[in-house]
A and B are shown apart, each in its own frame.
Chain A
Amino acid sequence: MAERYSSFEPKGARWFLQRLTAGFLVVVLAFHFMLLHFVHHAYEITFMGTQARMTQVGYFATMVLFLGTATFHGVNGVYNALVNQGLSGTRKTAVKYALVGAGLLLTIQGIRVALAMTGMNVTL
């Protein structure tokens, strides 16, 4: 048995970012659940209430950061899981770009939604 073991050493940017985003998401996901299910009940949510929260700069920035980190953590997690399952070669490259594309689309749509929640017209 090792006297001391730690895998917390440089293993590449994606490995480190997965842990960094995890630390952020642990706090913000718990906050999100608390605020929108316990402080405000989900069945009471209205556009006016959402707009009141999203027009606060700190809350807006936290939610956009939440979207970005959750998308990275989730998409990177799916990619890692598929690689663990034996994905390789051309299929691995195709899946990588498909996931990057899906992640970008989700982030762009999420930012449009966040801006719309402030009352901004984002229709194309």
Chain B
Amino acid sequence: MSQSYDRGLIEDFGRWQEFSAGMWAWVLHKFTGWVLIGYLFTHIAVLSTAIPAATGDPAAYTGTLQSLEELTIVRILEVGLLSVAVFHILNGIRLLFVDLGVGLGSQDRSFYASLVLTGAIVVASVPTFISGAF
């Protein structure tokens, strides 16, 4: 038999100071999910320049992507996107294990590990993402 407890309304963000690790994991997974689906729509819109490129205007695609990559703000946003994607992936793996009943006793620690690993991967990736931007 499983136990349950009343965590209160997580949707009430005014209570953020009372949030436990599990609630932060939930909030961050939702937030990063919203960012990623928003980005997917933007990504396909930008890559749609491949359509005129296929009919004899390759600069429509190559020029658009390379012009975007020349903007420092785009490089910084890409680092933000990487952070969001890496956290969503690592926390998602953690959630799949939880769904399988694995590691239930160490969910707090695995969440903190997701955060630390995300930070480490992002910091290590910054030189690659900003090379040539400044």
Contacts and interface: CB of A to CB of B under 8 A. Distances in A.
A, B assembled together:
yes
B37 A23 contact: no
A78 B34 contact: yes
B41 interface: yes
Interface string A72-90: 0011011001001110000
Nearest to A99: B37
Interface residues of B, number: 45
Q: Which 7 A-B pairs have the closest CB atoms?
A: A74-B37, A6-B101, A43-B69, A47-B58, A116-B54, A2-B2, A116-B50
Contacts of A67: 44
Q: Is the interface of A mostly helix, strand, loop or mixed?
A: helix
B33 A43 contact: no
Contacts of A113: 44, 47-48, 50-51
B55 to A, nearest CB: 5
Interface in B17-59: 30, 33-34, 36-37, 40-41, 44, 47-48, 50-55, 58
Interface residues of B, dominant DSSP: helix
Contacts of B37: 74-75, 77-78
Contacts of B1: 2
A26 B54 contact: no
Interface in A91-108: 102, 106
A52 interface: no
B101 A122 contact: no
Interface of B: 1-3, 11, 30, 33-34, 36-37, 40-41, 44, 47-48, 50-55, 58, 61-62, 65-66, 69-70, 78, 82, 85, 89, 92-93, 95-96, 98-101, 104, 125, 128-129, 131-132
How many A residues are at the interface, by size bracket?
35 or more
Contact of A117 (B54, B92, B93, B128): B54
Contact of B70 (A43, A81, A102): A43
A114 to B, nearest CB: 8
Interface string A41-65: 1110111101000000000000000
B48 A33 contact: no
